[in-house]
C-alpha cells in the first residue's frame, strides 16, 4: 500500500487504484437466485462530461461490512480510455446504491 499526496493507492496487478468513492448510475441484472451482475455504468468526468463504462469481466465478488453497512464488493476489469483497467465497485445493500470505489 502506498500513500501519495494524501491519496490512498492500492497496488493490484501492477496498476495502482485510487480511492474515488463516487456514486454512479448502474445497469445490472439479477438472476433467479438473487445474484446481481453489473453490466455497465455512467460516471461524471472532471470536465462535466459523462462516460459509459461496460463491465467486461467480473474478477471477484466479496461481501463486507463497512461502518455497519453491508456491501457487496465487485472487482472488475474493463477497457477505459483505450487501456485495460481493474477497478472496484461497491453495492450498498441497505440503500441499493452503487459506488465506484477504486479505479
Q: Which domain holds residue 56?
A: 20-102
pLDDT in tens, 50-99: 999 999 999 999 999 988 999 999 999 999 989 999 999 999 999 999 99
What residues have CB less than 8 Å from 96, skipping those under 6 apart?
A: none
DSSP state of 19: E
Domain assignment present for 15: no
Tally of domains in the chain? 1
pLDDT exceeds 70 at position 9 = no
How much is the pLDDT for 15? 53
Tell the residue number behind the cell numbers 477504486, with chain if given.
Answer: 102
Domain assignment present for 4: no
Q: Which pTM value belongs to this model? A: 0.81
Domain assignment present for 11: no
Amino acid at each position: 500500500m502506498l500513500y501519495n499526496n494524501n491519496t490512498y493507492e492500492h497496488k493490484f496487478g501492477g496498476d495502482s487504484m485510487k480511492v474515488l468513492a463516487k456514486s454512479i448510475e448502474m445497469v445490472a441484472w439479477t438472476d433467479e437466485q438473487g445474484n446481481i451482475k453489473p453490466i455497465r455504468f455512467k460516471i461524471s468526468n472532471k470536465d462535466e462530461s459523462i462516460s459509459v463504462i461496460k463491465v467486461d469481466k467480473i474478477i471477484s465478488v466479496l461481501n463486507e461490512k463497512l461502518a455497519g453497512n453491508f456491501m457487496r464488493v465487485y472487482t472488475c476489469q474493463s477497457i477505459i480510455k483505450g487501456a485495460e483497467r481493474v477497478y472496484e465497485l461497491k453495492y450498498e445493500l441497505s440503500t441499493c446504491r452503487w459506488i465506484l470505489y477504486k479505479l
